[in-house]
Homo-oligomer: A and B are copies of this chain.
Amino acid sequence: MKPNIDSILTVGSLAFDTIETPSGKAESVLGGSVNYFSIAASFYAPVQIVGVVGEDFPQSHLEWLASRKIDVRGIRVEPGKTFHWVGSYDQNFNEAKTIHTALNVFETFDPTLDQTHRSAPYLFLANIDPTLQQRVLDQVASSRLVACDSMNFWIKGKLEELKKTLKRVDILSINEGEAFMLSGERNLVRAAEYVRKLGPSVVIIKRGEHGASLFTPSGTFIAPAFPVGQVVDPTGAGDSFAGAFMGYLAQSGAHRDLASSNPAQWDHLLRRAVLAGCVMASFTVEDFSVHRLMRLQSEELHARQNALMKMMAV
């Protein structure tokens, strides 16, 4: 990582996941949105996590994160058990089916930011209750670049709160199915137009094995997924996409005011950041949990970025 890169603050879940996919099964492996996000982002920029775990969460993993220059001091260890998600995927790997959710210590999660967190110029609100996302926004300066994620659960259950969050963010990163649900449209172009009117000037619609589409004030960018030989587990693909995306922006110094001062350069950096996200996600899905990301080398990352660029060249 280059020196003097600004930090990204991320707020969300750390978890144990029990997952079944057509490729196999994993029992109580390390998961959670900010876990995936922070490891992915740490290839590009310093990260600070605000989250909560139970006493059963391995201290060794927090130490491993810290060894990557990920600031884990905002992760509170509370009495009780860590959030546990049980889910499965069908043969298309497209949508996760939740079998069981045990919120545990995450149920009373109330993100509290200290002074270091409040000054990070980049913020990623992972997929949590939109009320909590707003509580984070209340604590930070309005001058930072804010991206957020959400999911069908909140679109169905807390739509008005989610809309309040969206009014306050610059970038929304969301799945295609969720974009359709949020907009009531079954068409990508119209869904993106609808969502941009809700607040975020930049909308990224993630399309799994089909890549991601970026909608900005300057236009549309369609990024392919890097085609992997075997998908093992798509869990965390979206969060690691977001991690590399935000990391790339932070590394490039793409501050919030760039959007208004130089729209063309802003658009260019967003496109590159989306590609960084696609490449990172392609590694994530090659193994369960954060296993592939934990053993990922920068050289592999760069090689695959170059390979993807070649696959797009005309």
**Contact residue among B186, B220, B231, B272 (Cβ-Cβ distance under 8 Å from A311):** B220
Q: Which of B91, B309, B314 contacts A186 (CB 8 A)?
A: B91
Report A234 CB to chain B, min CB distance, Å: 13
| Residue A312 lies at the interface, judged by CB distance under 8 Å to chain B | yes
Asked if A157 is at the interface (CB within 8 A of a chain B CB), the reply is no
Q: Contact: A314 with B312, CB < 8 Å?
A: yes
Q: Is there contact, CB below 8 Å, between A222 and B311? A: yes
A228: Cβ under 8 A from any B Cβ: yes
The reply to whether the CB of A221 lies closer than 8 angstroms to some CB of chain B is: yes
Among A35-43, A115-123, A187-195, A286-294, the stretch in contact with B: A187-195
- State the oligomeric state as a number of copies: 2
Interface 0/1 of A205-224, CB less than 8 Å to B: 00101110100000111101
Chain A residues with a Cβ closer than 8 Å to the other chain, count:
32
**A210, A228, A230 pick with most chain B CB within 10 angstroms:** A210
B residues near A189, Cβ cutoff 8 Å: 227-229
Interface residues of A in 8-58 (CB under 8 A from B): 22
Within 8 Å of chain B (Cβ to Cβ): is A295? no
Contact B213 A222 (CB under 8 A): no
* Interface residue A99 (Cβ < 8 Å from any Cβ of B): no
Among A222, A230, A272, the most chain B Cβ lie within 10 Å of the Cβ of A222
Contacting B at CB under 8 A, from A155-175, are none
Asked if A196 is at the interface of the complex by the 8 Å CB criterion, the answer is no
Cα distance, A91 to B231, chains bound together (Å): 26
A24 to chain B, nearest CB (A): 15
Q: Provided the pairs A188-B227, A227-B189, A230-B187 are in contact, do residues A314 and B309 lie with their beta carbons within 8 angstroms? A: yes
Q: A267: shortest Cβ distance to chain B, in Å?
A: 10
- Interchain nearest-CB distance for A276 vs B (Å): 11
Give the residues in chain B near A228, CB-CB below 8 Å. Answer: 187, 189
A280 interfacial by beta-carbon distance below 8 Å: no
Query: What are the interface flags for A259-282 relative to B under an 8 Å C-beta threshold, 1 for contact and 0 otherwise?
Result: 000000000100110010000000
Decide if A100 is an interface residue (CB 8 Å cutoff): no
Task: Specify which of B186, B210, B268 is in contact with A210 (CB 8 Å cutoff).
Answer: B210
Residue of B whose beta carbon sits closest to that of A308: B222
Any B CB within 8 A of the CB of A310: yes
Given contacts A210-B207, A314-B275, contact A227 B220 (CB under 8 A): yes
Give every chain B residue within 8 A of A312 (Cβ-Cβ). 221-222, 312, 314
Interchain CB contact (< 8 A) of A310 among B187, B219, B231: B219
A233 to chain B, nearest CB (A): 14
Known A-B contacts A220-B227, A227-B220; the reply to A271 vs B188 at CB < 8 A is: no
| Cross-chain contact A227 with B213 (CB below 8 angstroms) | yes
Contacts A/B (CB < 8 Å), 17 sampled: A22-B186, A91-B186, A187-B228, A188-B227, A210-B210, A210-B211, A213-B227, A219-B310, A219-B311, A220-B227, A221-B313, A221-B314, A222-B311, A271-B314, A275-B314, A309-B314, A312-B312
